[in-house]
Chain A
Amino acid sequence: MSRLYMARNPRVAARSLDGEMMIMSGRDSTLFTLNKTATILWQSADGTTPLDEIVKIRICPEFEVEPAEALQDAETLARELASHEILQISEEPIPQPVAGAPR
């Protein structure tokens, strides 16, 4: 089974306030408020940690759900976030720009 990797889209702006993660698309100014699971995905989207590991380490303990069911839901959510261009997803690790390097 292929693994899914996620990275944050650098073209959105994000802020967390009182535990609520808000994201604004720079492209069309749409504002999104992420739910708890989506916030975990956003925070964990480092381009190198596969989704199944994120589910195992962060989502299952938080919500006390079965890993297989949680992975299926998380994948659906990750694809939805990608459709809004909040996350980038790939079946390969996604290289991240080095801080300070020219983009």
Chain B
Amino acid sequence: MPELTTEVERLSVVIEIGDMPVRVNTSDHSFLGILQDRYSGFLTEVEDNAGRPEIEFDVEIIAPFAVPDANVRVTQHLGHWSLEAGDFHAEWNPARHSGRIRQTANPYSIDAVLRIVHTLVLARQGGFLLHSASAVRNGKAFLFAGVSGAGKTTISRLAPSDATLLTDEISYVRRSELGKHDAGYTAFGTPFTGELAKLGENVSAPIAALYLLAQGPENRIEPIAPAEAARALLANVLFFAEDEELVQSIFHSAFEFVSRVPVSRLTFVPDARVWELIGS
């Protein structure tokens, strides 16, 4: 009898961002190398018996194809998520802890899938991904939010040597566990990079402040009314899913955040002196 099955080698990495391990399986050696390079510093060893990752994806590498200009679409039906864009198609069933991604061998598609999955998990836990740079100084995390051109990359580049960069583009915000960090919020380092193209450090710290960035003729910090803070925060939260319940969760999380974390406007001249105002 001829062999009817062929054993396929399963290669695997566990990418842990924000204390959430995600196992990614592939049978493609070169893609494994891409993952190891891309998420260096965020790879972890999780033994199956000592705590399986809550999320596991099998990646099917497909041949390159013409990428249509399609927007990201994230929908849910009966607990089964579908994530689609021009360059990938993914499915994820949280109840089964598993999913599948079809993409070409590139680091950008899986990066988008991971961001989306983290936003979905965080939304249920009172957290979110925020379009902001973040850094830790003297044990406290500081977030710098703003649209493209507001100065996220600039303030990251100007950070002094005693500041640890968490990200120059997308901050990871999670509600702290009760009894930890005074039940406030914690920021985690992420590999999600912006213009600086430098991975954040894989560390975390309680969030001391959120600054809304503006560039101007002098360095100054001004308080912001809570309603304006909530509006600005919501404008910078990354969320892709067409899901009323999760959209409502994100909305309420933003208000919880501004009730616990000081939000101010940071106007700065693009030189290193701005960091004299931050966490020193």
Contact = CB atoms under 8 A, between A and B. Distances in A.
Is A bound to B?
yes
A18 B252 contact: no
Given A22-B231, A24-B234, A29-B247, A17 B226 contact: yes
Interface string B183-218: 000000000000000000000000000000000000
Interface in B242-257: 244-245, 247-248, 251-252, 255
Contacts of B248: 12-13, 24, 26
A17 B252 CA distance: 12
A22 to B, nearest CB: 7
A15 interface: yes
A15 B252 contact: yes
Contact of A22 (B225, B230, B239, B245): B230
B247 A13 contact: yes
Interface residues of A, number: 15
B227 interface: yes
Given A29-B239, A31-B234, A13 B225 contact: no
A11 interface: yes
Contacts of B252: 13, 15
A103 interface: no
Contacts of A66: none
Contact of B231 (A11, A13, A33): A33
A20 B230 CA distance: 11
Contacts of A17: 226-227, 230, 255, 258
A17 B230 CA distance: 9
Contacts of A31: 231, 234-235
Interface in A5-37: 11-13, 15, 17-18, 20, 22, 24-27, 29, 31, 33
Contacts of B251: 13, 15, 24
Q: Of residues B231, B235, B239, which shows the largest number of chain A Cβ atoms within 10 Å of its Cβ?
A: B231
A24 B254 CA distance: 12
Contacts of A11: 244
B227 A22 contact: yes
Nearest to A15: B255
Contacts of A26: 244-245, 247-248
A25 B230 CA distance: 15
Nearest to A30: B247
A87 to B, nearest CB: 17
Contacts of A20: 227
Contacts of B247: 13, 24-27, 29
A103 to B, nearest CB: 12
A12 B244 CA distance: 8
Given A17-B255, A27-B247, 19 more contacts: A12-B248, A13-B248, A13-B251, A13-B252, A15-B230, A15-B252, A17-B227, A18-B225, A22-B231, A24-B247, A24-B248, A24-B251, A25-B247, A26-B244, A26-B247, A29-B239, A29-B247, A31-B231, A31-B234
16 contacts: A13-B247, A13-B251, A15-B251, A17-B226, A17-B230, A17-B255, A17-B258, A20-B227, A22-B227, A22-B231, A24-B234, A26-B244, A26-B245, A26-B248, A27-B247, A31-B231
